[in-house]
Amino acid sequence: MRSLLAVTPLAALLLVSSVCAQQPAVARPCVARGEPGVEYLQSLARQYHPEALAPASQRDSIVVGFVFDSTCQVVRHAVGRYGPDTTATLDSELAGLFPGLSRSELSSAGGYSREPFEPGHLKIVWAVLDRR
C-alpha cells in the first residue's frame, strides 16, 4: 500500500508534464528591447480590428494603433485612416489615433507596414508606455 501511495503522485506528475509538453507554444508578446513582434501585431490587428483586414478595406488606407504597458499587454487600441500625405510621422499617426497620449509618456514606439509603403496598405503603429 505504501509503495502505491508513492507511485501515484509521480504518475500524476508525469501525466501533467506530457500534457503540458503537447500544448502549442504561445508567442511572446515582446521580443528584443521590449518591443512587440510583427506576428504579435498582426494577430492583435486580426483580434481587435478584423474590419481593417477585410478585402474591401484593402483599397482604403487603414492604420491600426496599439498602446502597450511595459509587458506588451494592450492598454488601448484604435483604428483610423491615413491620407496620401507621405510626410506623416509616427508621432502624428499616434497623436491622431490617441489624442490624449503624450510622447513623454512613452518608452518606445514604432510601426509596421507591408511593402511597398503606399496608400491602400494596412499600417500598424504602436507605443509602449514608460514604466514610471
* 19-29 confidence digits (pLDDT tens): 444 443 444 55
Residue 60 has pLDDT above 90, yes or no: no
Binned at pLDDT 50, 70 and 90, residue 118 comes out as low
Average predicted confidence (pLDDT) for the chain: 75
Measured from the Cβ of residue 73, the count of other Cβ atoms closer than 10 Å reads 9
Instruction: Tell me the residue ranges of DSSP E strands in the chain.
Output: 62-68, 74-81, 106-113, 123-129
Residue 96 and residue 80 in contact, taking contact as beta carbons nearer than 8 Å:
yes
Domain ranges of the chain: 27-129
Residue 119 has pLDDT above 70, yes or no: no
Residues 6 or more apart whose CB falls under 8 angstroms from that of 117 comprise 123
